[in-house]
Amino acid sequence: ALAINPQFIPALKNLAIANHDIGQDLIAEQQMRQYLAENTEDRVMLGRHVHVLGKLQRFDEAKTLAEIAIQKFPMDLQLRTWLANYYQSTGNAAEADKHRKVAHRLQAKTGTGSGLP
C-alpha cells in the first residue's frame, strides 16, 4: 500500500463521504479503508464503513468491523443498531437482543432514535 501524505487525509475522508452520499460505494469503501488505516479512532467513519460494507453485501466483513469498532466505542448507537439488525437477520436472537437492549438504553440517555422496534 502506498503511504498517504498526511496533509491529504482530510480530503480523503471528504471524498469517501461524498462518494458514499452519491452511491459510489465501491470507491467510497476503498477510500474509507485507506482513511481508517490512518485514523483508527474515527468512530463516525467506522460506522459509515460498516454501513457501506453492508450495502455492498459484504456482511461478514461488516460484522467483523462492527464487532471490532464496538470494542473501541461500546456506546455507539449506530453500531449497536447495525449489529442488532445483523444478528436478527441471521437468526441469532440472543446477540440481537443483547445489542438491541444496549441501543435502547443509549437511545433513552440521548433522546435519539435507534431505528429499532
Spatial separation of the C-alpha atoms in residues 92 and 104, rounded to whole Å: 18
Spatial separation of the C-alpha atoms in residues 23 and 87, rounded to whole Å: 25
**What is the percent of the chain with per-residue pLDDT over 70, rounded to a whole number?**
91
Higher pLDDT: 64 or 3? It is: 64
**Which residues 6+ apart lie within 8 Å of 50 measured at CB?**
62, 65, 66, 69, 79, 82
Could you give the C-alpha distances from 40 to 30, 48, 69, 107, 116, in angstroms and in order?
Answer: 15, 13, 9, 25, 27
Spatial separation of the C-alpha atoms in residues 41 and 38, rounded to whole Å: 9
Q: Which residue's C-alpha cell is 445489542? A: 99
Q: State the average pLDDT over residues 53-63.
A: 97
* CA distance between the termini of the chain: 42
Domains by residue range for the chain, with CATH: 6-110 (1.25.40.10)
**Predicted structure pTM score:** 0.83
Residue 42 confidence class, pLDDT cut points 50, 70, 90 = very high
Contact call for residues 87 and 78 (beta carbons, < 8 A): no
> Is residue 59's pLDDT more than 50?
yes
